Amino acid sequence: MNNEQLINKYNVAGPRYTSYPTVPAWNLEDFNLPDWQIDIKKTFQKDQNIGIYIHLPYCESLCTFCACHKHITINHSVEGPYIEALLKEWQLYLSLFDQKPVLKELHLGGGTPSFFSPENLKYLIENLLSEVTVPKDAAYGFEGHPMNTTRKHLEVLHALGFNRVSFGVQDYDAKVQRAINRHQPFEKVKEVTEIAREIGYTSISHDLVYGLPFQTINGIKNTVEKTLSLKPDRLSFYSYAHVPWIKGNGQRGFSEENLPGGAEKRALYELGKKLFEKAGYEEVGMDHFAKPSDELFIAREEGRLHRNFMGYTTENAQTLIGLGVSAIGNSATTYFQNDKVLKSYLEKLQNGKWPVVKGHLLTEKEVLAREIIEDIMCNFHTKRLDVFADDNPEIYGELRAMEQDGILTFNQSDLWVKEPGKAFVRNIAMLFDEHLKKDSQKPLFSKTI
């Protein structure tokens, strides 16, 4: 089967697997706050290492390709009340712990974290860090918008222990930028990248997206070559997730006919990958590339690469706390998500209430499937196949079909993703997702290619 035939066969809707089970499959009826709090306490008693994701939802303008939870405003008076709510939420978590947490990983995401002033970010992070132990190998990073990330932002956060920053580039083509309402010249990205390097950030990442409206082979080549000229330590090359049925008009700023699809879209990725590898970057997991000197690549080589709601990570703290509106977190066997409605989120915390509104308690079978899916997404290999097959012997037949297509190979206990199969790693992971086999009356996920 040639590459185009494989794409036509496997280009179906499927999760990105930053978690398993995915949010649409959560069993909301069995979730309750008391049991969730007990699980967090038990997890923390076994391992005091934690990670924190802080969702900072505000943006000054709407990027029409974005599927994130965001709030568009130019009113910066919202910063103070939101930060106070975050700190109140953090105090609720501290009340569950019987000793000082060790903050291994901290990530500021959005929205646009650099919407907030350096002074307000300093106030937030200083208050948070005053209650934790900061280890020497801590990994703290934030998402910076090249158009409003200032030297002061970079200096303040670096002084607080931040060593990683990712800049959202997406694409440099003017026509593409107009379509997605993301206007930023190369010179501005160059400026903030060089400032971050001068200040001392040890891992600078650029985020690109393929599959955007009006993208072409020549356009991608130009974007990638400009990106490589700045020598970032990491590169993310994400597939555009077209989910307008979830995100409404935010992803209706262009016509469906303007989107490259199928083999055309995959060709954009293959060109980018070829250019990245020629420049000395290695593919790490799905959609990510890194220099051999970068910690992400080193973690992959040492078998320490993990995947969670923040994407690929070098840390594996069993407790991941999501602070902020719509933020998601997890403990050893639970997932949980905050209120998605900003007004409601703020009101709950003003009244001293938990903003967590839904979650999921994992079964033993789901824990096993989660481990296998993470193996596949991080290492392109798992050794747990026979354990899963004890209750799911039909998996071998499904794997044989994929083996015949040349995208994987396996024996009774091990599964290896072959080089052509890396394009279909989400499809391979889907074999272990029992929830996908249940009928759905509405679309939930973007296409896998």
Mark the binding-site residues, compressed into ranges: 53, 59, 63, 65-67, 110-112, 143, 170, 182, 207, 241, 328
Q: Which tokens hold the place of 256?
A: 């469906």
Cβ contacts of residue 159 below 8 Å, gap of 6+?
A: none
What is the separation, in whole angstroms, between the first and last Cα of the chain?
Answer: 17
Residue ranges of the binding site for S-adenosyl-L-methionine: 53, 65-67, 110-112, 143, 170, 182, 207, 241, 328
Distance between CA atoms of residues 310 and 113, nearest Å: 14
User: How far from 204 is each of 2, 187, 192, CA to CA, in Å?
Assistant: 37, 16, 10
Residue ranges of the binding site for [4Fe-4S] cluster: 59, 63, 66
Number of H helices, E strands in the chain: 16, 19
If 0-12 CB within 10 Å is exposed, 13-18 middle and 19+ buried, where does residue 314 land? buried
Buried b (16+ CB within 10 A) or exposed e, 171-197: bbbeebbebbebebebebbeebbebbb
Pick from 260, 237, 181: nearest CA to 7: 260
Which residue type occupies 276? F
Strand-pair category, 49-56 with 408-410: unpaired
- What is the C-alpha separation between 215 and 176, in angstroms, rounded? 6
Q: Are 290 and 282 in contact (CB under 8 A)?
A: yes
- Identify whether the C-beta of residue 56 lies closer than 8 Å to the C-beta of residue 110: yes
Helix (H) or strand (E) holding 58, with range, is strand 58-59
